[in-house]
Amino acid sequence: MEKGLHLMRETAKSTTKHKHVQEALAKALELLCTGKMHLSFEESQMWSGILLPWVFGKSSSDTIRSSATKILSCILEDYGPSALPVSQGWLAMLLTEILGSHKQSVKGSAPPKSDKVKEVSSMLLDKLVAAGIGNRPVVFVTHSMGGLVVKQMLYQAKAENIDNLVKNTIGIVFYSCPHFGSKLADMPWRMGFVFRPAPTIGELRSGSPRLVELNDFIRHLHKKKQLEVLSFSETKVTPIVEGYGGWAFRMEIVPIESAYPGFGQLIVLESADHINSCKPVNRTDPSYTVTLDFLRKLKAQLTP
């Protein structure tokens, strides 16, 4: 079987311009994976370099994309996102939700109703309150979806009358936060019938009403001068996945119009992608110096 899988992989790599051959290979592997055969972890990692381009490639047909989706669903069920060579955890989470939702639709059941942002926010809120966070002034420094988690957490705290945490949150730093959605989360809708996007992805889609609602809540706190906001925006496309034959998928994950919530200070980071926007290269990097000045200013406001 290993020799057969190896031959199939090599054939897939050498026939990228032959759609019918690629479709036949994808269908054959789909039948194997949805049957009794399970790919090993090593095989899964090697195949993912072929499967991901099949899913995300612009020239992929619906047939090959559908087969690749089913195979990836089997891989994720067996090994989780660690089997996929993705550049950042967000994509792994989205893929897990996309494929999980697809699996539910194949079975004919309702799509999952869980929302990872709300789940994580609720868990974090419980732990912070238990630890006494919010009894004194606090500043949250966040990256990417972490910013949405904090916004949702404060929204929930307000709804549950946990007033100390909301009142004592004096600042939030957002590195590449998708305040108004992400192009990455828009992808499932562009892939046609193959996917039925899961709740978390829907919440992250550009123009999501839920994101607007959360942003208006933070805007209100900022307008009341209850908290200060500092936002950073990436400027470079981010490598997401790489496949065979030098294939790579890159994109601007959080554009500047989504990274800026519409209030507070905005810093545009030159030559920073989504992954590196929160990783200062040295002590003179604006992603470090501006945040340091922001924290010092907040501290000075508290000093009698």
Q: Write down the domain spans for the chain.
A: 2-85, 116-182+205-302
pLDDT of residue 284: 96
pLDDT of residue 1: 66
Point out the residues of the chain with pLDDT beneath 50. 88-89, 102, 105-113, 188-200
Tally of CB atoms within 10 A around 110: 8
Fold of domain 116-182+205-302: Rossmann fold (3.40.50)
Q: Which amino acid makes up residue 152?
A: Q
> What angle separates helix 62-79 from helix 41-56, to the nearest 10 degrees?
150
Cβ atoms of 60 and 54 within 8 Å: the answer is yes
Q: Which two tokens stand for residue 144?
A: 């990417």
Which pTM was predicted?
0.70
Residues in the chain: 304
> What angle separates helix 89-107 from helix 183-190, to the nearest 10 degrees?
30
Report the sign of the C-alpha dihedral through residues 291, 297, 301, 304, in that order: positive
DSSP strand E in 137-296: where? 138-143, 169-175, 228-233, 238-242, 248-251, 265-268
Of the candidates 158, 159, 167, 161, which has an alpha carbon nearest to the alpha carbon of residue 135? 167
Report the sign of the C-alpha dihedral through residues 88, 46, 62, 116, in that order: negative
pLDDT of residue 160: 95
Quickly tell me which residue has 């990256």 as its tokens.
143
